[in-house]
Each structure stands twice: as structure tokens, then as C-alpha cells.
């Protein structure tokens, strides 16, 4: 059976000593964590290892001996090292020795209780201790459901190094009896900024939690729950987005420490996302308020609304004539056309009534862009919904009329053929009608059939307009969702410190020499950007199109009202 020794590359230049680490017998591999130097007292070493084992729950033990001699191999030293094997009994006792500056080390094992005393092959795998300690191994995305215990042998190695953090806290300037060499033995590193931020974050979090509890108390108060207001809040997408961000703030400001990697990354992602959002929002606000651009915007809003209304009037005049050469039913055409024209007239009067206040309202509403770019985009979407409210109304009227007509036609068609819809059995049954029923039914059927093109045309035109508005709103919401759910912190981490997010490992074969063990270098294979986004994306509150294309087409044909997005912007007068 092949023996694998995982050796940290930082210990290659260490002085002679004994190797401590973890022996994983199922995989026949030894993970070396540090080198203990001479002189030491074996009892103290065993005590220290017992303490480390208790704290880290990793079964750390003495694995073998390491000799780094500048001259040729000394016979007495090798016997001394073999004798150490009897003091710290470990099966198998690994002996690694390096001569001078040679890259090729000799490695041998001593088995006292082996059944088959044949020479087993040894593979020496070098690994970068700091990177493996900090990295987080991600399981393959498709087997996330199955918890296979032996799916990844490498995760045991990553786990061992990550959990032995306390072993790496002692450096060579400590006055203890044990002298270790590991990646931090030249001096423990820390950052002042990180420590200061940790100290400052506790009172900041408490203040934030207090403010948020006040805010959510106000939001939940009875005053805001009365019927018109609560309906309003549920329809405006701005309120949903603000609620979503409030939830995010609550997650960040909670003083419970993150339990595992996923929760930590989620908190960090939310924090960075909020920061970037607010920064972009403030940038947008400064751009809008400079040179009074918002005043110009308010000034052009009324003319744009007027222009839209005029275009609609022209469209209706076109429909009332002979649109695209089709011959409409004169009377119905005039009725529908005049009804919609009157509606537009009402709408224009309403807009003109509001026009003196528009600039002020817009100025104050624009200030709320400092809450974030997503809030500004939601406000834009709501303004579009408000301005095109008449198109929505027309669509509803046209759709209802068309829907009634279609149902009437289908029911009378059944009557024409002598059949009836059986509600109990949910199927079409034959039925014998009286003569006068048949007469009236056929008459009504003919009337509805010949009036169908007119209604269908109005319905088609207004549905197309409504779909246009829905598409524009949908694009805005798509952008908002993208900003909400993108895990920016994880992406930046993948860019700058790619070893922290590991999808696996890769091995590189180093120079070999006959007779010496196989030398491999284990490097971390980082997760791809697509994998990072898939693993760490933040959940959002909307779900995309509820209906499939087929059911959407069916609804359009039958005249049922469509709500393609889960949340829609609509405001009642």
C-alpha cells in the first residue's frame, strides 16, 4: 500500500527534529503540521500534544523524525532518531532526511508490527500550509444533496490543517519548552485595522439593532395597516425593496456570530452589496442635483405625459376610422372610441391638476436615491407605472370585453350545435333545446360573431401597449434583482485571494530522481466565477415568469388578464 506524506513547504528549511501531525489510517496518509526541534523533553511534548488534541479535537501525534544535516549523513544521528521511534511509539514511524541543499530527500518507514515487511512506495506531497488553512473546500455542486462520507478524501486534509489553528499560534519568540516550526513560526501576523474594526463593530451593531427595532416597530404600527394604505404598500415595488433592504440590515447587525462559512460569506456579501448600492445611489443623486437636472426632468415630465396622451388619441381616431383597411362596425367602434377618448381626457385633466406640485414632489422623492441605486430604480419603475396607468385601464377594459365575448361565443356555439356544458361532470353533453331558445341563441351568436373583429382589434392594440410597458418595467426589475443578488464580496475574494474558495486541488509533478520517493506539489484549484455566483447568490423576493410561454399564449387568446411578474406596480386613483 502506498504511503502518502503531506509535508508543508515552509518546513523544508527547518532544523532537525521530530514531525507532529495527524495520521489518517483509512487513507494511509500522514499530514505533517509542524516540526518540534531539539532539545525537548518527551514528557512535555506528549503533554503539549494532549492539550492541543483537547482544544482542536484533531488527533495530533508524533509521526516520525526529520533530519536536515548540512554534511553527510551521520550514523549516530540516525540511530538516535530510530531510538526516538521507541519513545513515541507510532505505527509506522516515518523518517525523512535531507542532505545539504539537495532537493531530493530520502524517506523511509519503520514498521514493527507489520505482517508483510515489503518496501512500500512513498509519495511526498508538498502543500502551502497558510493557503490550505485559509481555504474552504466546496463540494461539487451536483452532489450537494448526498452526504457521502468518503466522497472527498482531500476534505479530511483541509479539515485537519484548518482546525489546527491553535497549534500555529506559538512562534519562536515564545518562552515555552517546545520549539516549533510551521508557517507562522517566524512571528504571528495580525492587522491593526482588522482588530480596530472588530472592536468598533460591537457598539456599531448594537446602535444599528436599536435603530432598526424602532423602525420596524413604526412600520408594524396599527396606523399603517388601514385598508387603502396597506393595499398601496403592497402594490408599490419601492416598499418591497425597502423592506428587503431592512431585512438585510437586520441580518448584518445581529450580534450572533456566524456559525459556518456560508453564513459568514452571506453576511459579508450583504454588507458589500449594501455599501456599493448606497455609494452608487449617492453618485446618482449628486449627478441629478448638480445643474438642477432634476428640475429639468420635472419640467419635461408633463409634456411627455401630454405627448403620450396625444399619441393615444391619434391611435383611437385611427381605430375609429378604417384601421389598416379593415371595416369596423360603425356603431360599436364609435361607442368604444368615445369611451376611451373621454377616459384620456380625464387623465390629462388629472395630470394638469398635479403639474404645479410635480417639481417639488420629484425633488423630495429624488432625495431617497441616497438609500440606494435599487431604490431609485424601483421609484423609476413606479413612476412609469403611474404615468401609464391609463394604458393599464384600457387593457383591462378591452380584455374584459373580449373575454366576455369569447365566453359568450363559445357557449352559444355549443347551443348552435345542440350541446351544453355540464358543470357537474366538467364535460360537453348533448341537450335538446326549445325552438325559441335556439332562435334567440343563434341570433345572439351571429351578433357577437360579427362584432368580434372590432373588439378583437381594440383588445390587440391595448394588449400590445400593455406588454410594452410590462417589458420595460420587467427590465428595470431584472436590473434591481441583479444588484440585489450578486455576491460581490465572494467575487472580489475570488479575484484577489483565489485560494480561499477552492473547488479542488491540482498536483504538479516535481523533478524526480531514481530511488527517491515521488515528489508532488499540491496547489489549490479555485472555484470558477460561475460556480462562485451559483453557490453564494443572495435570495431575492421575486420569481420570474410564473406562466410558461404556452399558458401565456392561451391566456392572451382567451382574454384573461395576465400578470407576468409576481409583483406589479399599480396604483388606484
Closest by Cα among 265, 272, 269, 273 to 500: 265
CB 519 within 8 A of CB 510: yes
Between 464 and 495, CB nearer to another protein: 495
CA distance 261 to 149: 19
CB 382: neighbour CB atoms within 10 A?
21
Smallest distance from another protein to CB 518, Å: 4
In the complex with another protein, the residue whose CB is nearer, 90 or 567, is 90
Rounded Cα distance, 404 and 401, in Å:
5
CB atoms within 10 A of CB 424: 6
Q: What are phi and psi of 246, to 5 degrees?
A: -60, -40
CB 110 within 8 A of CB 85: yes
CB of 523 to another protein, least distance (A): 9
Residue (123 or 386) nearer to another protein, CB: 123
| Residue with smaller CB distance to another protein, 157 or 373 | 157
C-beta of 116: minimal distance to another protein in Å?
A: 7
Q: Minimum Å distance from CB 144 to another protein?
A: 13
Query: What secondary structure does DSSP assign to 37-88, as a single string?
Result: ESS--HHHHHHHHHHHHHHH---EEEEEEEEEESSSPPHHHHHHHHHHHHHS
| Smallest separation (angstroms) from another protein to the CB of 190 | 34
Total count of residues recorded for the chain: 573
Matching residue, cell 517546545: 178
Shortest Cβ distance from residue 412 to another protein (Å)? 55
Q: How far is the CB of 67 from another protein (least distance, A)?
A: 23
Between 4 and 245, name the residue whose CB sits nearer to another protein: 4
Quick one: DSSP state of residue 411? Answer: H
Q: Which residues bind another protein (CB under 8 A)?
A: 1-2, 4, 25-26, 28, 116, 121, 123, 125, 143, 146, 148, 150-154, 504-507, 509, 512, 518, 520, 525
CB atoms within 10 A of CB 418: 11
Q: Which is nearer to another protein, 294 or 522 (CB)?
A: 522
- Under 8 Å between Cβ of 161 and 10: no
Whichever of 64 and 517 has its CB closer to another protein, that residue is 517
CB nearer to another protein: give 16 or 152: 152
Give the nearest distance from C-beta 148 to another protein in angstroms: 4
Identify which of residues 147 and 256 has a Cβ nearer to another protein in the complex: 147
Going through 216-281 in order, the beta strands assigned E by DSSP cover none
Q: Determine phi and psi for 385, rounding to 5 degrees.
A: -60, -40
Which triple of cell numbers denotes residue 205? Answer: 451593531
CB of 4 to another protein, least distance (A): 7
Q: How far is CA 560 from the centre of its chain?
A: 35
For Cα atoms 65, 68, 71, give the angle at the middle one, nearest 5 degrees.
135
Q: What angle do CA 270, 274, 278 make, to 5 degrees?
A: 175
Amino acid at each position: 500500500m502506498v504511503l502518502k506524506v503531506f509535508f508543508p513547504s515552509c518546513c523544508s528549511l527547518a532544523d532537525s527534529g521530530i514531525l507532529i501531525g495527524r495520521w489518517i489510517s483509512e487513507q494511509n496518509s500522514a499530514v505533517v503540521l509542524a516540526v518540534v526541534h531539539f532539545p525537548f523533553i518527551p514528557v512535555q511534548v506528549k503533554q503539549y500534544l494532549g492539550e492541543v488534541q483537547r482544544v482542536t479535537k484533531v488527533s495530533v501525534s508524533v509521526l516520525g523524525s526529520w533530519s536536515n544535516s548540512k554534511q553527510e549523513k551521520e550514523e549516530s544521528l540516525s540511530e538516535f532518531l530510530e531510538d526516538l521511534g521507541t519513545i513515541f511509539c507510532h505505527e509506522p514511524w516515518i523518517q525523512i532526511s535531507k542532505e545539504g541543499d539537495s532537493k531530493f530527500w530520502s524517506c523511509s518507514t519503520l514498521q514493527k508490527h507489520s505482517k508483510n515487511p515489503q518496501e512500500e512506495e512513498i509519495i511526498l506531497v508538498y502543500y502551502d500550509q497558510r493557503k490550505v488553512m485559509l481555504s474552504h473546500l466546496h463540494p461539487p455542486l451536483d452532489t450537494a444533496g448526498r452526504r457521502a462520507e468518503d466522497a472527498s478524501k482531500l476534505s479530511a486534509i483541509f479539515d485537519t490543517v484548518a482546525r489546527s489553528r491553535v497549534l500555529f499560534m506559538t512562534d519562536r519568540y515564545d518562552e515555552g519548552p517546545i520549539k516549533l516550526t510551521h508557517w507562522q513560526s517566524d512571528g504571528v501576523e495580525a492587522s491593526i485595522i482588522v482588530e480596530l474594526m472588530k472592536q468598533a463593530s460591537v457598539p456599531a451593531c448594537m446602535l444599528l439593532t436599536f435603530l432598526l427595532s424602532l423602525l420596524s416597530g413604526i412600520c408594524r404600527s396599527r396606523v399603517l395597516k388601514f385598508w387603502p394604505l396597506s393595499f398601496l404598500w403592497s402594490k408599490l415595488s419601492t416598499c418591497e425593496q425597502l423592506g428587503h433592504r431592512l431585512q438585510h440590515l437586520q441580518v448584518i447587525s445581529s450580534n450572533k456570530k456566524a456559525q459556518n462559512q456560508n453564513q459568514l460569506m452571506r453576511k459579508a456579501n450583504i454588507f458589500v452589496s449594501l455599501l456599493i448600492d448606497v455609494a452608487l445611489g449617492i453618485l446618482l443623486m449628486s449627478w441629478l442635483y448638480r445643474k438642477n437636472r432634476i428640475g429639468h426632468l420635472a419640467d419635461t415630465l408633463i409634456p411627455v405625459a401630454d405627448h403620450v396622451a396625444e399619441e393615444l388619441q391619434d391611435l383611437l381616431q385611427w381605430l375609429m376610422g378604417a384601421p389598416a383597411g379593415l371595416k369596423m362596425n360603425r356603431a360599436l367602434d364609435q361607442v368604444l372610441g368615445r369611451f376611451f377618448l373621454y377616459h384620456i381626457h380625464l387623465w390629462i385633466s388629472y395630470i394638469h391638476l398635479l403639474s404645479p406640485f410635480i417639481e417639488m414632489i420629484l425633488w423630495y422623492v429624488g432625495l431617497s436615491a441616497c438609500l440606494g441605486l435599487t431604490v431609485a430604480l424601483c421609484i423609476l419603475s413606479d413612476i412609469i407605472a403611474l404615468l401609464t396607468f391609463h394604458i393599464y385601464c384600457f387593457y383591462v377594459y378591452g380584455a374584459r370585453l373580449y373575454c366576455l365575448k369569447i365566453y359568450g361565443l363559445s357557449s352559444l356555439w355549443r347551443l348552435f350545435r345542440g350541446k351544453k356544458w355540464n358543470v357537474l361532470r366538467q364535460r360537453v353533453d348533448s341537450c335538446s333545446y326549445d325552438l325559441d331558445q335556439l332562435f334567440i341563441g343563434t341570433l345572439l351568436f351571429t351578433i357577437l360573431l360579427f362584432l368580434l373583429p372590432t373588439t378583437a382589434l381594440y383588445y390587440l392594440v391595448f394588449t400590445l401597449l400593455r406588454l410594452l410597458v410590462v417589458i420595460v418595467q420587467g427590465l428595470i426589475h431584472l436590473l434591481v434583482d441583479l444588484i440585489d443578488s450578486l455576491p460581490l464580496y465572494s467575487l472580489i475574494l475570488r479575484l484577489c485571494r483565489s485560494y480561499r474558495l477552492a473547488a479542488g486541488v491540482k498536483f504538479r509533478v516535481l523533478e524526480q530522481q531514481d530511488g527517491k520517493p515521488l515528489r508532488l506539489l499540491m496547489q489549490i484549484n479555485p472555484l470558477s466565477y460561475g460556480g462562485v455566483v451559483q453557490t453564494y447568490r443572495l435570495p431575492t423576493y421575486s420569481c420570474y415568469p410564473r406562466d410558461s410561454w404556452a399558458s401565456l399564449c392561451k391566456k392572451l387568446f382567451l382574454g384573461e388578464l395576465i400578470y407576468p411578474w409576481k409583483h406589479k406596480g399599480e396604483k388606484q386613483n
